[in-house]
Amino acid sequence: MSTGDTTAAVALRFFLPPEELRPFITTLYHMEISGHDGQPVDDWLHPEWANLRIIPGLTVEAGMGGKPLEPMPRAVIAGPTSVATRFRAREGRSWGIGLLPLGWARLTGAPANEYADRHADVDMDPAFEHLRALCACVPDTEGDLLAERDAMLRELGALLAKPSPREAEVLKVEEALTDPRFHSVAELASSLGMSARTMERFCSRAFGFSPQLLLRRQRFVRSLAKFMLDPSLKWIDTLDSHYHDQAHFVRDFKRFMTMSPSEYARLPHPVLMAAAHARAAIAGEAMQVLHKPTAPSKADPS
């Protein structure tokens, strides 16, 4: 477990899943907001893979891509994102489960592009009916943190047991996407033996976006992660090697975060700064999309 450098108002705890679930889940994480003079905590989530969040007290509002804040349901699943999500959390707690592309495929069976850049209510969307027992592992009244975690892991173990189609290809593409050597779709397609057209269709279904946007997102998040771990850095010192210049980075920043780098740096980040440190400490990467994928165990029939 890792807690990061949290404040008096924000308590974050990150947990690694057991080895057999790591090809599918990055971390389980628990957030608790308390005190803060009754004021809510605001922050901005960067683009990431899919997440399932359970919010017993209905204490979170969120708006994706510059949209107005709206109340989040008790159990909300977000597909992969290419834009920032502003959120506001009042006093209360929530659980989150970070899903890698293989985890999304096994847990939902839905094409990722159908849920890209949007939230869905698990209790209302029939596509996620099978996830309701998992979400019920977290009671409305505050319970035992580790007991809740263990109950969710048991449910996840059962839900993630059945392989999904084309997992070997998903893994190969994900490995390439997280490899900073790859700069262009042509390089990516050539290394994987896919035509550009085939890769376009495959990435849309398995990852939610075009390969060009996925590569662009990786480049951006690699840069943002450096700042989140050390905000004393100047933006020019955080730039990924694939950026031509700072103006190139600023264009990407506005595309993904809906604001300029200077605007973002002036805002408080009581949750995301702590999360970056906690995630890096326990999982080796500050942000979810930077996690290196691992193959399911040999005992897994996939």
Domains, the chain, in order of start with CATH, read: 10-164 (2.60.120.10), 167-266 (1.10.10.60)
**What is the distance between the alpha carbons of residues 95 and 64, in angstroms, rounded to a whole number?**
19
- Taking residue 77's Cβ as centre, other Cβ atoms within 10 Å add up to 26
pLDDT tens string, the chain, 302 residues long: the values are 555 555 568 999 999 999 999 999 999 999 999 876 778 999 999 999 999 999 999 999 999 999 999 999 999 999 999 999 999 999 999 999 999 999 999 999 999 999 999 999 999 999 999 999 999 999 998 889 999 999 999 999 999 999 999 999 999 999 999 999 998 899 889 888 999 899 999 999 999 999 999 999 999 999 999 999 999 999 999 999 999 899 999 999 999 999 999 999 999 999 999 999 999 999 999 999 999 999 998 654 44
**What is the distance between the alpha carbons of residues 149 and 219, in angstroms, rounded to a whole number?**
33
For residue 257, give the nearest of 244, 243, 272 by alpha carbon.
272
Residue 275: Cβ-neighbour burial (10 angstroms; 0-12, 13-18, 19+): buried
